[in-house]
């Protein structure tokens, strides 16, 4: 009897324990669902605010254009009024008019007539003709790159149907090298590639360069083989007096001069090019130093249009009708589900389309699009091209780097090998801070022989957040990454993530969209697939890549679980921008994770690496 009673008691205790666990699981599930709902609301609010901001900026730009037009019309009316007054004054002092007045006033008085005729015969100085005055720009108007360089065509036509687009907003900066000023003569395409690489002066002509350029004397003059505009005739065939005068002006001031042949037969520009100190070309048949087009991260990037993509594959002719300005081209690049480009499409065009995240081909394949985007950047950015130019001409190309220090906290000795192997795959890493058991130091120096390895042994009571805070003080690179030794990182993980700093204005970059693998059920999940390439309230802590100074200001909470949530709340409070990049290159690995089960989509039962690591 006592045995049965004891068995019953144990069963009751087990039942109570299971009920408590079930209640706790239910509470955790409710909390996770509440957090998910809050995150989704925040995403929608952020998108709505971004859309409203885009509309407000577009409306402001329209108002500015209308105001400028009115000011030009008013200036023209004032000029015409001055011309009319000048004509009236000229008529009054004309000899024939004065003779007529003398005859009319002296017809009844011979003495007065004779006196009037003598006075009318004397020469009188005529008033000077008025001159048009330049319209003064509005005070406070943006003078940064892209400020007056926005899309103007917001509609596209396909098969007789009209589509309204929300144009891509061309960014107004920042400049990569604010210490260098360049005077540039280029067509709109090349100007768009160069405008963010330095402080750029454009728009001067053969008639006014001597007045415009002294306002901010450039360090460098770059002249492209332009086909239109006031300089086209000056540089084609026999050099014109205007280009000779410009080069002489530069020589007097020690300004370096560069001619960049990008189009047309080189023979048409050969005579002019010989007058420059340095010559470059993108034509493989010309024996000059190479300067190829490269993608410009400020404008060739996967940031989406506010209205999203159309669910169609477009040919290149449909995508880029001939009337588009280059800012409108940047909008079109982001519009289709895919771009079907014919053989013979210039390589630079393919690279620009791919860099905007648009699949090239007859299908909308996000994996292929991501690989093509990566390849377009690997072929070279315009920043790297300008580095080559400046090195050749002898100007300093100092600019911010994207070198990275990696924080690797290891709380479980069994994870040492796996964690170090994930870091060893990465490129662009200058330093690794390993916070872990003593054996981690020797293994780190063996596995990472070419990196600066710093090891610290944590105190037994230290939380993961405290370990990260201690490691942050040792970081020396411009960017700091946090990597979790439990997770899987692809070989392109950090390179892909760093790319976001080239086109976003965020201080923290990471992933809100990512793949996860749960070992116990052998399930592969995808969390928030819609959260790619967007400014969002939070990203996963194990994917954090941040500017070192910004991270030091925020700091790490003294927690083992949830330190990233505390950091994201602090970012929202302080107004620090957080950017979610692509879904690829990372897999969150756990035995089980009930929160993920309620907040992610099931992909399949099996490995996540074939989906994530491309």
Query: pLDDT tens digit string along 331-376?
Result: 999 999 999 999 999 999 999 999 999 999 999 999 999 999 999 9
What are the φ and ψ backbone dihedral angles of 604, each rounded to 5 degrees?
-170, 170
Q: What is the pLDDT of residue 142?
A: 40
What are the φ and ψ backbone dihedral angles of 8, each rounded to 5 degrees?
-65, -40
Number of Cβ atoms within 10 Å of the Cβ of 564: 23
| Ranges of residues in the chain whose predicted pLDDT is under 50 | 138-144, 147
Residue pair 430/471 in contact (Cβ under 8 Å)? The answer is: no
Residue 580, helix vs strand vs coil: strand
Measured CA to CA, the distance from residue 278 to residue 475 in angstroms comes to 41
161-164 and 199-201: which strand pairing? unpaired
Number of Cβ atoms within 10 Å of the Cβ of 425: 15
Run of H or E including 212: helix 209-212
**Those residues with Cβ within 8 angstroms of residue 560's Cβ, 6 or more apart along the chain or in another chain:** 411, 463, 464, 465
Residue pair 509/545 in contact (Cβ under 8 Å)? The answer is: yes
Note the pLDDT tens digit of each residue in 96-143. 666 666 676 666 777 676 776 677 666 666 677 766 666 655 444 444
Nearest to 563 by CA among 454, 484, 475: 484
Give the rounded distance of the alpha carbon of 599 from its chain centre: 31
Longest dimension (CA), the chain: 157
Q: Judge if the upstream peptide bond of residue 324 is cis by omega within 30 degrees of 0.
A: no
Residue pair 90/126 in contact (Cβ under 8 Å)? The answer is: yes
Nearest to 219 by CA among 236, 190, 197, 239: 197
Q: What is the pLDDT of residue 323?
A: 84
The beta-strand segments (E) located in 91-234 are 155-158, 161-164, 181-185, 199-201, 220-224
**Length of the chain, in residues:** 614
Residue pair 199/216 in contact (Cβ under 8 Å)? The answer is: yes
Measured CA to CA, the distance from residue 347 to residue 610 in angstroms comes to 29
Helix residue spans in 276-319 (DSSP H): 316-319
Measured CA to CA, the distance from residue 482 to residue 212 in angstroms comes to 49
Is residue 403 packed enough to be buried (19+ CB in 10 Å), middle (13-18) or exposed (0-12)? middle
Q: Can you give the pTM of this predicted structure? A: 0.76
DSSP class of residue 239 equals: P
Q: What is the pLDDT of residue 139?
A: 41
Measured CA to CA, the distance from residue 448 to residue 422 in angstroms comes to 11
First-residue to last-residue Cα distance in the chain: 65
Is residue 392 packed enough to be buried (19+ CB in 10 Å), middle (13-18) or exposed (0-12)? middle
Question: Whose structure tokens read 């037969």?
Answer: 265
Residue pair 577/570 in contact (Cβ under 8 Å)? The answer is: no
Residue pair 155/163 in contact (Cβ under 8 Å)? The answer is: yes
Residue 588, helix vs strand vs coil: strand
Q: 454: which 2 tokens?
A: 């710093």
Q: What is the pLDDT of residue 143?
A: 44
**Dihedral (C-alpha) 156, 352, 144, 535: value to the nearest 10 degrees?**
80
**Those residues with Cβ within 8 angstroms of residue 123's Cβ, 6 or more apart along the chain or in another chain:** 95
Nearest to 258 by CA among 272, 268, 245: 272
DSSP class of residue 489 equals: E
What are the φ and ψ backbone dihedral angles of 342, each rounded to 5 degrees?
-75, 160
181-185 and 220-224: which strand pairing? parallel
Q: What is the pLDDT of residue 300?
A: 97
């Amino acid at each position: 009897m006592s045995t049965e009673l004891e068995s019953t008691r144990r069963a009751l205790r087990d039942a109570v324990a299971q009920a408590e666990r079930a209640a706790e699981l239910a509470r955790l599930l409710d909390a996770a669902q509440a957090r998910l709902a809050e995150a989704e609301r925040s995403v929608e609010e952020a998108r709505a605010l971004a859309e409203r901001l885009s509309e407000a900026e577009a409306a402001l730009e329209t108002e500015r254009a209308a105001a400028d037009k009115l000011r030009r019309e008013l200036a023209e009316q004032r000029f015409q009024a001055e011309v009319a007054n000048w004509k009236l004054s000229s008529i009054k002092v004309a000899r024939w008019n004065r003779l007529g007045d003398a005859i009319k006033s002296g017809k009844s008085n011979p003495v007065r007539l004779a006196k009037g005729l003598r006075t009318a015969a004397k020469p009188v100085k005529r008033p000077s003709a008025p001159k048009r005055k330049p319209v003064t720009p509005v005070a406070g108007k943006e003078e940064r790159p892209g400020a007056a360089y926005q899309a103007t065509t917001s509609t596209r036509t396909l098969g007789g149907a009209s589509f309204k687009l929300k144009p891509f907003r061309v960014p107004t900066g920042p400049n990569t090298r604010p210490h260098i000023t360049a005077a540039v003569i280029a067509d709109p395409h090349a100007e768009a590639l160069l405008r963010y690489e330095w402080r750029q002066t454009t728009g001067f002509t053969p008639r006014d360069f001597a007045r415009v350029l002294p306002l901010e004397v450039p360090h460098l003059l770059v002249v492209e083989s332009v086909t239109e505009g006031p300089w086209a005739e000056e540089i084609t065939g026999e050099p014109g007096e205007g280009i000779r005068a410009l080069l002489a002006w530069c020589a007097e001031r020690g300004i370096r001069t560069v001619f960049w042949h990008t189009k047309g037969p080189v023979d048409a520009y050969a005579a002019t090019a010989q007058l420059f100190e340095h010559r470059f070309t993108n034509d493989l048949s010309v024996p000059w130093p190479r300067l190829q087009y490269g993608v410009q991260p400020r404008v060739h990037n996967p940031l989406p249009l506010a209205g999203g993509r159309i669910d169609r594959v477009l040919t290149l002719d449909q995508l880029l009708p001939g009337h588009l300005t280059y800012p409108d081209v940047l909008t079109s690049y982001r519009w289709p589900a895919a771009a079907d480009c014919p053989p013979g499409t210039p390589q630079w065009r393919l690279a620009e389309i791919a860099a905007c995240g648009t699949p090239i081909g007859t299908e909308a394949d996000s994996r292929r699009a991501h690989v093509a985007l990566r390849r377009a950047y690997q072929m070279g950015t315009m920043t790297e091209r300008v580095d080559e130019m400046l090195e050749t001409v002898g100007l300093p190309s100092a600019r911010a780097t994207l070198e990275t220090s990696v924080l690797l906290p290891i709380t479980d000795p069994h994870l040492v090998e796996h964690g170090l192997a994930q870091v060893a795959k990465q490129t662009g890493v200058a330093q690794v801070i390993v916070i872990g058991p003593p054996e981690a130091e020797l293994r780190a120096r063996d596995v990472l022989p070419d990196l600066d390895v710093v090891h610290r042994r944590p105190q037994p009571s230290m939380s993961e957040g405290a370990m990260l805070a201690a490691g942050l003080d040792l970081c020396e690179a411009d960017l700091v990454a946090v990597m979790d030794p439990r997770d899987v990182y692809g070989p392109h993980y950090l390179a892909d993530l760093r790319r976001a700093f080239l086109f976003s204005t965020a201080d923290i970059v990471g992933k809100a969209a990512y793949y996860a693998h749960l070992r116990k059920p052998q399930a592969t999940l995808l969390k928030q697939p819609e959260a790619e390439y967007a400014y969002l309230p939070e990203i996963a802590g194990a994917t954090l890549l941040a500017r070192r100074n910004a991270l030091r200001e925020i700091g790490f909470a003294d927690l083992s679980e949830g330190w990233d949530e505390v950091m994201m709340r602090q970012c929202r409070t302080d107004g620090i921008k957080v950017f979610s990049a692509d879904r690829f290159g990372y897999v969150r690995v756990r035995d089980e994770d009930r929160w993920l089960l309620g907040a992610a989509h099931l992909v399949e039962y099996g490995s996540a690496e074939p989906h994530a690591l491309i």
